[in-house]
Structure 1
Amino acid sequence: MSAVGPDALIGEVVDGRYLVLELIATGGMASVYRAVDTRLDRDVALKVMKPHLVHDESFVTRFKREARAAARLSHPHIVSTFDQGEDAGRVWLAMEYVPGQTLREVVQEQGALSPRHALEVLDAVLLALGEAHAAGIVHRDVKPENVLIRDDGVVKVADFGLARAVTTDTATSATSEVLGTLSYISPEQVEAGPVTTRSDVYAAGLMLFEMLTGRKAFAGDSIPNVLFQHVHHGVPAPSTLVPELAPSLDSLVLHAAAKDPADRPEDAAEFLAEVRHVRGRLSPRELDRTPDSAPSPSAEATVPRAADSSDSAPAATTVLPVAATASSLAPGADT
């Protein structure tokens, strides 16, 4: 595998159990394969750490932390973790195999989603994050790539590789591992502050912005530029790009993505209560309106800059309309 690349693992049996069938995704830190668990006769997603990282203790620890964090959670909207181990110098993680698309693929193909579709996806994501937050776990890498929409429409949140218990040291630093993805990283993560459930809420707010507009709230040509925007620019209201959006949708995004964590909902459950309240007050026309005025996801555009309920949600499975086409996928190659 180290000599000729990730495809070299195809056809091998890992740990005497997992027959590797195909490469699904590959990133800088891991490759993900579809494999068959020969003991239970089921497909799994097998995440295998890149060979050059196997001897890096911090990455191995992170891999094992992902398994422990995900194994603590059991929820219909969270990708299940089945097994973890090391075999022939490979560090691997066996997870639920999810055939479908990532939210990133959906937005790239469709552009801005209708408010109804966006809020349905967000509802499922917040149910999953709410389960993690209630267990004392912060995801810390909420992004469209980690939201999987199964072929039957069920939404799953994946990749708890950055997750940590909120009672541990959750501060980041410039010299530590890169935590979160640039377009969704919270200001406090940029500034090496404490990472809490409100950090996940921030990322969820930016995902809602992107679903409603087809554009990232913060994008740039360099890492410092994007990080500067998170810290010093307020998130623009979605209606600056899609004027027909209801003002209450702007309020949802701006509340969740406030620069000061104290100005955001406390956790995913509180944000979910707000989302459901807003959705319940929108008319069918407001929910289903096609955002024709939103820019194409492939278009280059400058995003305008804006000036600077505590009810517990049931763990019901949210099912979305199945996409016309869907590719097989698995969570988290770039852990």
Structure 2
Amino acid sequence: MDNVTKEARVKLFDKRYQILSILGRGSQSVVYKAIDVGKKNKEVALKVLVRKKDKKLTEQLRKEALILVSCKHKNIIQLYDFHALNELCYLSLEYAPYGDLNQYLHKVKKLTAEQAVLFLIQTAEALQAMHDAGIYHRDVKPDNILVANPSLIKLGDLGVASLPGEEFLLEELRKGVGTLSYMPPEVLVGKGFTQRSDLYALGVTFWEVLAGTHPFEGVPLLKQLSVREDKNLVPLSKKNPEVPQYLSDAILKLMRFKPQDRFSSAEELIKFLKKKGASKQSKTVSKEEVNKEEKKKS
């Protein structure tokens, strides 16, 4: 995490925010950790455009603000304020103290199976809220899943999300919309995004998180499509034996080559995970009860 100068800490940004540090930096924007002195020193994340007077980028940030307002959910990062006046354009967003999923994993080393299921369900619930509003995220990956606390995640960075009726253009892919290594086959060939495209990226994300490596790591650009074929997919349980079989099966289904072979919706995935998880918990409890009874008899 980059530090900012002492002078910047003292001087208020837009007469309201005290900048504490830099959380992230891209070609178009910088994200700062800051304190909103007008809101009882509330911690926030400020996403500030770097290129001033760029109308296209300003409209893109305005669109992100609109999307955040359109799909409020406990597992989607909250928008506090959008400012676009003169040369200053920024979003004031909810701050996630534990950073993104990659940063969190760097600290804790690995997720427990229970925590992985919880985070997967919460991310799916965020996606379902977006899909219900006719919005596709289009860039689901560990960097965009933020950890508020060890039992709560927030889906963030909706900068390339699409509004209802907005068509995907192959030109967008060439310009870098989304992240290649998480894109489903249908998007790579220019067929466009659907809710099942977001689910594919969700599967790749949690395969990576639980395996400790990306499933398509080191694959050349020309083989990015063929490596996604079902015959080349490695079940997660083979990479990490600690992963429950039902979770491995769910993630593999999310990553199927054909969209129709995946879960039909995030809601269907959630129901599957909750049903299988409850069944597993029930079996565990029953086993413990049997052991207790055997001890009593002895």
Query: Structure 1-normalised TM-score?
Result: 0.73
Q: Who is 1:34 aligned against?
A: 33
1:157 Cα offset (Å): 1.1
Partners of 1:250 and 1:203 lie apart in 2 by 15
Describe how 1:101-180 pairs up with structure 2 within 5 A. 101-151=99-149, 153-173=151-171, 176-180=174-178
Residue 321 of structure 1 corresponds to none
Aligned pair partner of 2:201 in 177, 200, 203 = 203
Query: Of residues 266, 269, 275 in structure 2, which corresponds to 1:268?
Result: 266
* Uncovered stretches (5+) of structure 2, i.e. residues with no partner: 285-298
Deviation for aligned residue 1:274: 1.6
| Aligned match of 2:78 | 80
**How many Å separate the matches in 1 of 2:232 and 2:275?**
24
| Matched AA of 2:64 | E
Greater shift in the superposed pair: 240-249 or 188-197: 240-249
Aligned to 1:21, the other structure's residue is in SS state strand
Distance 1:231 1:173 in 2: 24
Q: CA separation of 1:11/1:30 partners in 2, compared to 1, >3 Å: closer, same or farther?
A: farther
1:216-266 CA-to-partner distances (Å, cap 9, x unmatched) read 111126555546634787432112312454433332112111111121112
User: Once superposed, what is the RMSD of the aligned Cα atoms?
Assistant: 2.9
Tell whether 2:277 aligns with 1:279: yes
- 1 CA distance for matches of 2:194 and 2:166? 10
CA contact (8 A) 1:78 1:157 kept: yes
Question: Which of these residues, 183, 186, 189, is aligned with residue 184 of structure 2?
Answer: 186
Deviation at 1:269, TM superposition (A): 1.2
What is the CA distance between 1:178 and its match in structure 2?
A: 1.4
Counterpart-to-counterpart distance in 1, 2:187 and 2:54: 23
- If the length of structure 2 is used for normalisation, what is the TM-score? 0.82
Deviation of 1:187 after TM superposition, in Å, equals 1.7
Corresponding residue SS for 1:167 = coil
The reply to whether residue 46 of structure 1 matches residue 40 of structure 2 is no
SS at match of 1:162: coil
CA distance in 2, matches of 1:37, 1:113: 32
Q: Percent identity?
A: 27
Give the equivalent residue in structure 2 for 1:16: 15
Q: Secondary structure at the match of 1:138?
A: coil
| 1:162 shift after superposition | 1.2
Alpha-carbon offset, residue 198 of structure 1: 0.7
Rounded Cα–Cα distance in structure 2 between residues aligned with 1:150 and 1:18: 21
* Higher mean C-alpha displacement, 137-146 vs 260-269: 260-269
Q: CA deviation at 1:119?
A: 0.5
SS at match of 1:193: coil
Go from structure 1 to structure 2 and tell me whether the alpha carbon gap of 1:11 and 1:279 turns closer, same or farther (over 3 Å shift). same
Higher relative contact order (CA 8 A, sep 6+): 1
How much has 1:61 moved relative to structure 2? 2.6
Larger of the two Rg values belongs to structure:
2
1:82-140 deviation line (CA, Å, top 9, x unaligned): 21223552321111122113211233444553322210111111111111111111111
Q: How many Å separate the matches in 2 of 1:58 and 1:232?
A: 39
Distance 1:248 1:58, change over 3 A: same
